[in-house]
Structure 1
Amino acid sequence: MLERSNIMYYFFYVATSIIIIAGFKAASEVVIILLLSIFIASILSAFLNFMEERKIPKLPSYFLLFSILIIISLLLTYMINTSLTSFSSNLPIYEKKIKASILLIINYIEEYGFNINKEEILKALNFSYFFKFTTNLIGDIGAIFSKALLVFIGVAFILSETKVFEKKLKVIFNSDSKKLYSFKLFSHNLQKYFIVKTFTSFLTGFFIFVVLFFFKVDYPILWAVIAFLFNFIPVVGSIVAAIPAVLLSLVSGHLDHTLWLMLFYVVINISISNILEPKFMGKELGLSPMIIFFSLIFWGWILGIVGMFLAVPITMTLKIAFESTQNTRWIGVLLSDLSSKKNRS
């Protein structure tokens, strides 16, 4: 039977967790800006370290880095906004073509004696929500840009405090070199995760663009950017990113092109995510696949779509934090992928 003190201990942590989660949910907009700033800064700090190793002064390094980021951001914003505007205006045409293609498939199936309710299926294929979503997204470009500006400012301040933060860590962990080493190792693994994930996501987006351009699918840049972004979402991201391009290819009337396109999507994502990515990243994450899946749902509920992008690094951070103390180590074990540890031993 559990002791009274243990029961109070567990109830205290459950109550504290609920309060923290409610706080994250209520302040999600601020939390998103903070987390994005931290994680983007962890990627960019590698670039600054690279420049520092080559004896390039700090100020020119900062100027070069942020100039490149601003130019890329403005170009992407312009291209995505232009593509979304054009796509939104052509959406009714695509809707008619998709419905016509589905009717052809239904007629083909009915030839084999199956009874299908065409009206119910066509009624279910309501594109009004998607049309509203794209329209709102175009209207919110300004708001997204203003939030991105806040993130950039946050990144700039974090990067400027990097050296000071290292000194603070030495003061905090002065009497415990083991904890200082553990924190530095965690920071290195987190940075490595983001650098590798960004690189592999870029490769995914680039190859998707080449394939879409070859098959003459509309808006290849837009779908390539979506493939790049959604590659940060494990398990379901690559599948969701493939749907719009495959549907557009289908309505073009070339079924063979669509099948080839689906095959290329599968080959690109499997080759990069399952072969190239683990080779660079290794097993440092150590998260259970089940935990990764449910963390997508959990952080997506709290922080929206951004929470799904950051689900893995946030959960990885929590896992390291839980493993650092004896009282909560069992939670870290529950989050871990023990199979990978077994393979290494």
Structure 2
Amino acid sequence: MIRLYEMRETRNYLLAAAILLILIIGMQITAYIVNLLVISLILTILTLPTMDFLRKKGIPDGIAVGVITVVAGGVILGTLMLTMHSFQVLIQDLPMYQAELNDRLSELLLLLDKIGIDPASLSPSSISLSSIVAIIEPYALNAGNGVLYLFFIMITTCFALLEAPKLPERLEKILGANLEGRFGIKRMSSLMIEFVIVRTEANLIHGTLFGLSLWAMGIHAAALWGILTFILAFIPYIGLFIAAIPAIFFAWLQYGVWGAVAVVIIVVILNALVENPIFAYIASRRFDLPPLVVIISLIVWGWILGISGMIFAIPITLILLIMVQCSDETRWINTLLGVDKLFADEGGAKEKH
């Protein structure tokens, strides 16, 4: 009997692993749709506080959603147009940037020659910015698909906002009235919403200050690098450093080594002023994912969904953790990952179940 039980357990685990693999492959194949749903979910989370505020003022749900949609759509469309305009200007001025690059490479060659290094493979004409832009341009200026994608995202977000107030009641019917007492789901959901909102606010401040700083220095395409910082700052650990690379490169082209150093100093100062207080605030609310879980989330969701998966890796992971916590049969996964403390009460004790 024991042997038969062990065989059944093994079969169940293998079946679960097979289903998980099929789901992952399916998500990778349908990444276009999954990304659309994920972005819509994040936008819904960001706009829920505004939706609640308008409802409390007595504004009907339909009108409230319409107002939010118009404002949010205008902001997103304006940001998209500014990004495309900045990139087009960048392409138009490409000959000037190439000339600046050739000058910097010539200076580098002279420096290497003085210290006795023979850079045989490096010459002012060995690096072509045109070839790099030629690879990026078709994706960056694909305005038609971008606007269509934005339209589907806005439609999905609108209906999600209309359905959001009804979800708690539906979950209560499915999972039981004592859901919060058993699992702390409501508290964890609030924490996830708070994380998304605070992270977005921090990115907005960071990207705006960075873009304005570059604009004050006269760096080419300062607005584009500010927007890039806002987007990539969602990626933990590495996002801000990746976003800073183009700005540092163009500062080097325009002003040499000292220009690049100045941008690096700006990045360090903004990290100290913006990032540290934000993370301290989040930590005070007991949000603390193990670094290994964060890294694995970046790798897995980046592989499945591409760059969007890396940007939204943490919110997606938090949603999965909440789903895992809803079942007695899967809660051990959160314990194994070391994230079960996120569902503990305010005093840090585990929820009774």
User: What TM-score do the two structures reach when normalised by structure 2?
Assistant: 0.87
1:120/1:4 Cα in 2 relative to 1: closer, same or farther (>3 Å)? farther
* Equivalent AA in structure 2 for residue 316 of structure 1: L
Equivalent of residue 249 in structure 1, options 237, 248, 251: 251
Q: Distance in 2 between matches of 1:121 and 1:10?
A: 59
Whole-angstrom CA distance in 2 between matches of 1:335 and 1:200: 27
1:28 aligns with 2:31: yes
Change (3 A) 1:164 1:323: closer
In structure 2, C-alpha distance between the alignment counterparts of 1:170 and 1:326, rounded to whole Å: 16
1:258 matched to which residue of 2? 260
Instruction: Provide the rounded CA distance (Å) in 1 between the counterparts of 2:335 and 2:130.
Output: 46
User: Which amino acid is 2:117 matched to?
Assistant: F
| Residue 156 (structure 1) shift | 0.3
Q: Provide the C-alpha distance between the structure 2 equivalents of 1:283 and 1:175, rounded to a whole number of angstroms.
A: 26
Find the counterpart in structure 2 of residue 171 from structure 1.
173
The list of structure 1 runs, each at least 4 consecutive aligned residues, that deviate by more than 6 angstroms after superposition, is: 338-341
Say whether residues 1:302 and 2:304 are aligned partners: yes
Q: Does 1:37 align with 2:26?
A: no
C-alpha displacement at 1:253, in angstroms?
A: 2.6
Partner of 1:227: 229
2:280 pairs with one of 272, 278, 281: 278
From 145, 148, 151, give the equivalent of 2:147: 145
2:117 is aligned to 114
Q: 2:51 aligns with which of 41, 48, 51?
A: 48
CA contact (8 A) 2:188 2:322 kept: yes
Q: 1:284 to 1:153 in 2, by over 3 A?
A: farther
Deviation of the 1:59 alpha carbon: 4.0
What is the deviation of 1:274?
Answer: 2.6
| One-letter code aligned to 1:132 | A
Q: CA deviation at 1:6?
A: 3.0
Q: In the aligned structure 2, how far is the partner of 1:257 from the partner of 1:128?
A: 23
For residue 279 of structure 1, report the CA deviation from its aligned partner. Answer: 1.1
Shift of 1:344: 6.4
Q: Per-residue displacement from partner, 1:142-170 (whole Å, max 9, x unpaired)?
A: 10111011000000001111222232122
Q: Percent identity?
A: 22
305-314 vs 65-74, greater mean Cα deviation: 65-74
1:202-226 per-residue CA deviation (whole Å, 9 max, x = no partner) reads: 0001110221121111222111111
Displacement of 1:76 in angstroms is: 1.6
| Closer/same/farther in 2, CA of residues 97 and 305 from structure 1, 3 Å limit | same
Shift of residue 128 of structure 1? Answer: 4.7
Q: What code does the residue aligned with 1:83 have?
A: S
Task: Give the aligned CA root-mean-square deviation in angstroms.
Answer: 2.8
Structure 2 stretches lacking a partner, 5+ long: none
Aligned length: 343
Relative to structure 1, is the Cα distance of residues 122 and 315 closer, same or farther in structure 2, using a 3 angstrom cutoff?
farther
Quick one: which amino acid aligns to residue 214 of structure 2? L
Q: Give the direction of change, closer, same or farther, for the CA distance of 1:319–1:68 in structure 2 (3 Å limit).
A: same
**Contact 2:180/2:186 (<8 A) preserved:** no
Task: Kindly indicate whether the alpha-carbon contact (under 8 Å) linking 2:195 and 2:282 is maintained by their aligned counterparts in 1.
Answer: no
Separation (CA, whole Å) in 1 of partners of 2:328 and 2:340: 18
Q: 2:288 matched to 1:317?
A: no
What does residue 205 of structure 1 align with? 207
Structure 1: runs of 5+ lacking an equivalent: none
1:79 to 78, 82, 85: 82
Code of the residue aligned with 1:42 in structure 2: it is I
Match of 2:104 in 1: 101
With the length of structure 1 as denominator, give the TM-score of the two structures.
Answer: 0.89
Q: AA paired with 1:131?
A: V
Aligned residue for 1:132?
Answer: 134
2:184 match: secondary structure: helix
Higher relative contact order by CA 8 Å / sep ≥ 6: 1 or 2? 2
Instruction: Assess if the C-alpha contact under 8 Å between 2:102 and 2:124 holds in 1.
Output: no
